[in-house]
């Protein structure tokens, strides 16, 4: 399976930018990067993170790690800042345009802007260590501006961070030609207490994929027998997936 190296920008003594209300960029980056890890793992990718807590790590260490890991894609997660608080929006950096990194960046940028509803500042070139010193195609996402009131509200909101993670993951999937697998929706049957623990995940999967459904009363009736006709319908749906 493909290997993805996630770099949660800054950390430790280097907090990165300081946003509206004193929020640290390093915290925003780490929270979004962890959600991205969850997304990427669900797709079956092998994932390594530059940090999973608030620790120091040099740029050289990050690049060395990504290279030693043998990453197929490197993605660095950041939030932007500017002296003028009106600056806002999302941008994605590559070292040089015209290579695979630009293909990834184009997909990631498109998905991020759609998901976050931010201003599209486009794909840009940047002479940044994590982009320049890594062997794999590498992109650096500036999710939004921590110094802009509206953008920062999104950066500090868990639901928006998740949207950002999903968007980056979708972009990477599109580049690698992998079908994005969304998080299964939780079971909401009236009798979900009756579904045994060992079957819960399977029930979530088959209902999420539309292979089986509950009945009109909103129950699943896990202990009811399946008729041959019902089984035939499930198998026919499976073939259509
Ligand atoms: Zn940064």
Dump pLDDT digits (tens) for 134-175: 999 999 999 999 999 999 999 999 999 999 999 999 999 999
DSSP 201-238: HHHHHHHHTTSS---TTS---TTSPPPHHHHHHHHHHH
What's the confidence (pLDDT) of residue 19? 97
- Residue 139's nearest CA partner among 177, 179, 110, 181 is 110
Q: What is the pLDDT of residue 216?
A: 86
Structural contact between residues 212 and 234, judged by C-beta atoms closer than 8 angstroms: yes
DSSP 8-state class, residue 14:
B
Contact 29, 77 (CB under 8 A): yes
Q: What span, in angstroms and rounded, lies between the C-alpha atoms of 36 and 7?
A: 10
Dist. CA 106 → ligand 1 center (Å): 20
CA distance 62 to 24: 20
CA dihedral angle for residue 203, residue 207, residue 209, residue 212, rounded to 10 degrees: 100
Distance 108 CA to ligand 1 centre (A): 17
pLDDT band at 32 (very low <50, low <70, confident <90, very high): very high
Across 92-112, average pLDDT:
98
CA of 142 to the centre of ligand 1 (A): 7
Q: What's the whole-number mean pLDDT along residues 186-199?
A: 89
Give the mean pLDDT of 87-91. 98
What is the distance of C-alpha 42 from the center of its chain?
Answer: 10
Q: What domains can be seen in the chain, in order of their start residue?
A: 3-176 (3.40.630.40), 192-240 (no CATH)
pLDDT at site 209: 85
CA 215 to centroid of ligand 1, rounded, Å = 50
How many angstroms separate the alpha carbon of residue 1 from the centre of ligand 1? 29
Mean pLDDT across the chain = 96
pLDDT tier at 187, thresholds 50, 70, 90: confident
């Amino acid at each position: 399976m493909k290997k993805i190296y996630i770099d949660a920008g800054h950390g430790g003594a280097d907090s990165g930018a300081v946003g509206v209300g004193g929020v640290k960029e390093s915290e925003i980056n780490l929270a979004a990067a962890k959600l991205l890890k969850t997304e990427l793992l669900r797709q079956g990718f092998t994932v390594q993170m530059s940090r999973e807590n608030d620790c120091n790590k040099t740029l050289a260490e990050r690049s060395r790690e990504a290279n030693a890991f043998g990453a197929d894609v490197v993605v660095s997660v950041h939030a932007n800042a500017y002296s003028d608080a009106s600056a806002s929006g999302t941008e994605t950096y590559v070292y040089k345009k015209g290579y695979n990194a630009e293909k990834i960046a184009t997909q990631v940028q498109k998905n991020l802007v759609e998901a976050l509803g931010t201003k599209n500042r486009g794909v840009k070139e940047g002479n940044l260590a994590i982009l320049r010193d890594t062997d794999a195609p590498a992109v650096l996402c500036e999710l939004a501006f921590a110094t802009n009131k509206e953008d920062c509200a999104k950066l500090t909101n868990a639901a928006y961070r998740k949207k950002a993670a999903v968007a980056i993951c979708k972009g990477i999937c599109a580049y690698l030609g992998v079908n994005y697998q969304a998080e299964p929706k939780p079971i909401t049957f009236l009798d979900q207490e009756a579904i045994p623990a060992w079957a819960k995940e399977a029930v979530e999967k088959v209902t999420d994929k539309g292979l089986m459904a509950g009945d009109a009363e909103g129950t699943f009736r896990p202990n009811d027998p399946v008729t041959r006709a019902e089984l035939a319908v499930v198998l026919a749906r499976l073939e259509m997936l």
